[in-house]
């Protein structure tokens, strides 16, 4: 399998960071030699105008919420510029769904794509909801691009890290990432644990052996947690080893448990330390 058809959801406003992320996502699609489809969501937003008291003005009517829309056209303009510059095969769509249905519509479009490239903003509720809906309702992997880091992110994933815990989501993530892993120069596998049990070590070594059958050379190590959180362990490892891409499964535990108690998935979605590929 190869990655040949990707979706780029465009939501929100065309800030400098958002435009940098669009640029980088288009460049990555070009490196995949894939067609990229931009799906721009134009959403209504409430704007309350300043009201001047006047005897000839119906103040009750004047203070009604005025409806406006997000600048989806500005996002598409940035997309058009990027696909022209990088000469990437592309399609573009503008949709105006009702607010509660916007994220679901994106997930439905993603079902017929190999992957979704998702620009995300740090600790932003809308970004987290979009990522979660794509994970639970698209059936396809996602590749997150942290907007705050976009300008410095690499286009080629030469140094890849697999977060491995022998769970079904982690196994799915590895399978989905095989096209990328085959072209990587370095593939590392880590299990975050303070126990280093025989089963954990055997599982990591078995994954190395499995990848070797796909002509992918990987190395495995157990990384201690030592009172931190697993998400923070991943972040520290990424920074220390200049990782370009983190591959991981999403929500090994229930989503409710992660919301209440925290977890690796919530930590990474809230603040991706690099490009992050997730599957569930």
| Per-residue model confidence as pLDDT tens digits over 237-277 | 999 999 999 999 998 755 544 443 348 999 999 999 999 99
Taking the C-alpha atoms of residue 118 and residue 175, their distance in angstroms, rounded to an integer, is: 20
Do residue 144 and residue 9 come from a single domain? yes
What's residue 256's pLDDT? Answer: 45
Report yes or no on 56 lying in a domain: no
Do residue 128 and residue 169 come from a single domain? no
Token pair of 21 as six digits: 């992320």
Token pair of 155 as six digits: 């286009």
Mean pLDDT of the region 118-128: 94
Do residue 181 and residue 269 come from a single domain? yes
DSSP type of residue 101: G
Do residue 32 and residue 165 come from a single domain? no
Do residue 184 and residue 243 come from a single domain? yes
Do residue 11 and residue 86 come from a single domain? yes
Mean pLDDT of the region 3-22: 97
Nearest CA to 2 among 263, 144, 143, 177? 177
Report yes or no on 103 lying in a domain: yes
Report yes or no on 49 lying in a domain: no
For residues 123 and 42, the answer to whether their CB atoms sit within 8 Å is: no
260: containing domain: 156-279
H/E element, 239 = helix 230-240
pLDDT band at 171 (very low <50, low <70, confident <90, very high): very high
Q: Is the pLDDT of residue 48 over 70?
A: no
Of 116, 148, 180, the position where a domain reaches its end is 148
Report yes or no on 251 lying in a domain: yes
Do residue 195 and residue 250 come from a single domain? yes
Q: What is the pTM of this model?
A: 0.89
Mean pLDDT of the region 156-184: 97
Token pair of 194 as six digits: 């303070």
Mean pLDDT of the region 143-155: 97
Do residue 138 and residue 254 come from a single domain? no
What's residue 107's pLDDT? Answer: 96
Q: Which residue has the higher pLDDT, 277 or 104?
A: 277
- Average predicted confidence (pLDDT) for the chain: 90
Render 111-160 in DSSP notation, one character per residue. TTSSEEEEEE-TT-HHHHHHHHHHHHHT-S-EEEEEGGGGGG--SS--EE
Report yes or no on 62 lying in a domain: no
- State pLDDT tens for residues 78-89: 999 999 999 999
What's residue 43's pLDDT? Answer: 85
Strand, coil or helix: 203: helix
Report yes or no on 52 lying in a domain: no
What's residue 65's pLDDT? Answer: 46
Report yes or no on 179 lying in a domain: yes
Nearest CA to 1 among 147, 140, 170, 114? 114
Do residue 112 and residue 201 come from a single domain? no
For residues 242 and 159, the answer to whether their CB atoms sit within 8 Å is: yes
Of 148, 183, 201, the position where a domain reaches its end is 148
Mean pLDDT of the region 124-131: 93
Lowest mean pLDDT among 40-44, 51-55, 257-261: 257-261
What total number of domains does the chain contain?
Answer: 2
Radius of gyration of the chain (CA): 21
Q: Is the pLDDT of residue 60 over 90?
A: no
CA 64 to chain centre: 37
Of 94, 129, 148, the position where a domain reaches its end is 148
For residues 243 and 268, the answer to whether their CB atoms sit within 8 Å is: no
Buried b (16+ CB within 10 A) or exposed e, 13-41: ebeebbbbbbbbbbbbbbbbebbbbbbbb
Residue 249 maps to which CATH number?
A: 3.40.50.620
Q: Is the pLDDT of residue 203 over 50?
A: yes
Do residue 174 and residue 217 come from a single domain? yes
Do residue 198 and residue 123 come from a single domain? no
């Amino acid at each position: 399998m190869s990655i040949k058809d990707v979706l780029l959801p465009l939501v929100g406003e065309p800030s400098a960071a958002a435009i940098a992320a669009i640029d980088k996502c288009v460049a990555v699609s070009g490196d995949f030699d894939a067609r990229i489809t931009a799906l721009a969501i134009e959403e209504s937003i409430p704007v309350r105008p300043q009201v001047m008291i006047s005897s000839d003005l119906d103040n009750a009517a004047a203070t009604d919420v005025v409806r406006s829309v997000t600048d989806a056209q500005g996002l598409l303009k940035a997309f058009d510029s990027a696909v022209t510059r990088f000469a990437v095969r592309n399609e573009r769509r503008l949709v105006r769904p009702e607010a509660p249905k916007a994220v679901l519509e994106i997930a439905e479009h993603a079902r017929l794509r190999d992957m979704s490239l998702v620009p995300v903003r740090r600790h932003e509720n809308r970004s987290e909801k979009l990522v979660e809906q794509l994970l639970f309702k698209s059936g396809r992997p996602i590749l997150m691009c942290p907007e705050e880091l976009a300008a410095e992110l690499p286009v080629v994933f030469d140094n890849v890290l697999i977060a491995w815990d022998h769970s079904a989501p982690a196994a799915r993530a590895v399978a989905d990432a095989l096209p990328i892993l085959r072209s990587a120069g370095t593939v590392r596998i880590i299990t975050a644990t303070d126990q280093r049990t025989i089963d954990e070590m055997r599982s990591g070594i078995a994954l190395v052996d499995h990848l070797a059958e796909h002509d992918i050379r990987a190395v495995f190590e157990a990384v201690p947690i030592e009172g931190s959180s697993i998400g923070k362990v991943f972040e520290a490892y990424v920074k220390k080893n200049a990782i370009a891409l983190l591959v991981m499964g999403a929500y090994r535990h229930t989503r409710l448990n992660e919301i209440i108690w925290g977890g690796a998935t919530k930590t990474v979605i809230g603040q991706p330390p690099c490009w992050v590929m997730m599957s569930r």
